[in-house]
Amino acid sequence: MKPAPFAYHAPTCTEDAVALLAEHGDQARLLAGGQTLMPLMASRKVRGGHLIDLNRVPELSFVSRTDRLRIGALTRLRQLENDPAVRSAAPLLSRATALAGPVQVRNRATVGGALAYADPAAELPAVAVALGARVELRGSRVRSVPAEDFFLGAHQTALSGAEVLAAVEFPPSDSACAIEKISPRPGLALAGAVAVLGGDTCRLVLFGVAPTPVRPAAAEAALARGAPPDEVADAAVAGLDPHGTGAASRHVLARGAVARVVATVRNGVTHG
């Protein structure tokens, strides 16, 4: 099947992209890496009369590090995986991007696309929440949204129809961190967990078990007080919705992922 007919636009700056979104409204679709959008358009599960290609907007592709790590939305996942600044400032982010599909996908997929698509089983939304990231959105004004407030549901975010996800910003951190996912096949996360522990930070985030990344409060409290990994894991899945197709099996897998990340971050705090 071929995509439905559409008009193609290639803006060269963010302002022009925003203007095109405002002009075409619900008929506009933004193209970054295209790893998700193009198959959906080809199958006609997604239709749009206007395709706005961001790949000629150079200001959206960058990695900079000052007091915070700042990453442009068009930055490829493969670059995040290998960039020395990312590995130094946010090693968890580098590790997570290495898990985000085969290398052919990581060479094209972008950090902005991964966040904006808000796949419940994706690693990057959970990592953004775990690290306390903020997402920069540009429309008629610029606003910065905490990652924890950005994800509203499966494939639903706080991004409005007339905004471009421009960048994501990560605060400095020297905490121990870990990510685990359990996949039925490489590149597909069925359930997973992210943990960040050290100093005043104690965050545990589950992905693949709910429409958005989940921070289980009871499990975080157990992690903070030094409870054994299995106890933290039991607390993490106790409050999850038991209903839904495959919920029970996903929760079993998530429990295993939590136990592993807890053991890993505890080792990092002890021996880091």
Among 194, 229, 226, which Cα is nearest to 209's? 194
Indicate the number of domains in the chain: 3
* Res 185: pLDDT: 64
Give the domain extent around 199: 176-271
User: Beta 164-170 vs 63-65: how paired, if at all?
Assistant: unpaired
Give CA–CA dist 255/180, Å, rounded: 11
Give CA–CA dist 90/98, Å, rounded: 13
Query: Does 158 share its domain with 65?
Result: yes
* Res 174: pLDDT: 85
Query: Does 28 share its domain with 132?
Result: no
Residue type, 65: R
Residue where a domain stops, chosen among 119, 139, 170:
170
Place of tokens 């965050």: 203
pLDDT (tens place) for every residue of the chain, 272 residues total: 676 677 889 999 999 999 999 999 888 888 786 666 555 655 665 567 788 889 999 999 999 998 899 999 999 999 999 999 999 999 999 999 988 877 888 888 899 999 998 989 899 999 999 999 999 999 999 999 999 999 999 989 999 989 999 999 999 888 999 999 887 666 555 789 999 998 889 999 999 999 999 999 999 999 999 999 999 999 999 989 887 777 888 888 899 999 999 999 988 765 44
Q: Provide the 3-class DSSP secondary structure of residue 241.
A: coil
Q: Strand locations in the chain, DSSP E?
A: 7-9, 28-31, 50-53, 63-65, 69-72, 134-138, 142-146, 151-153, 156-157, 164-170, 176-182, 191-198, 201-207
* Res 272: pLDDT: 45
Give CA–CA dist 218/195, Å, rounded: 14
Query: Does 209 share its domain with 250?
Result: yes
Angle at 172 between CA 171 and CA 177, to 5 degrees: 100
Give CA–CA dist 116/21, Å, rounded: 15
Query: Does 106 share its domain with 180?
Result: no
DSSP type of residue 76: B
Query: Does 242 share its domain with 143?
Result: no
Contacts of 23 (CB under 8 A, 6+ apart): none
* Res 150: pLDDT: 98
Do the beta carbons of residue 183 and residue 254 sit within 8 Å? no
Q: What is the largest CA-CA distance in the chain?
A: 58
Q: What are φ and ψ of residue 239, in 5° steps?
A: -95, 5
Q: Which two tokens stand for residue 35?
A: 């790893």
Query: Does 230 share its domain with 163?
Result: no
* Res 271: pLDDT: 47
Place of tokens 């992922």: 257
Q: What is the pTM of this model?
A: 0.91
Q: What is the CATH number of the domain that holds 259?
A: 3.30.390.50
Q: What are φ and ψ of residue 182, in 5° steps?
A: -115, 120
* Res 38: pLDDT: 56
Burial class of residue 62, CB neighbours in 10 A (0-12, 13-18, 19+) = middle
Query: Does 64 share its domain with 125?
Result: yes
Do the beta carbons of residue 46 and residue 59 sit within 8 Å? no
* Res 246: pLDDT: 78
Query: Does 64 share its domain with 138?
Result: yes
Residue where a domain stops, chosen among 122, 144, 170:
170
Residue 2 lies in a domain: no
Residue where a domain stops, chosen among 170, 204, 227:
170
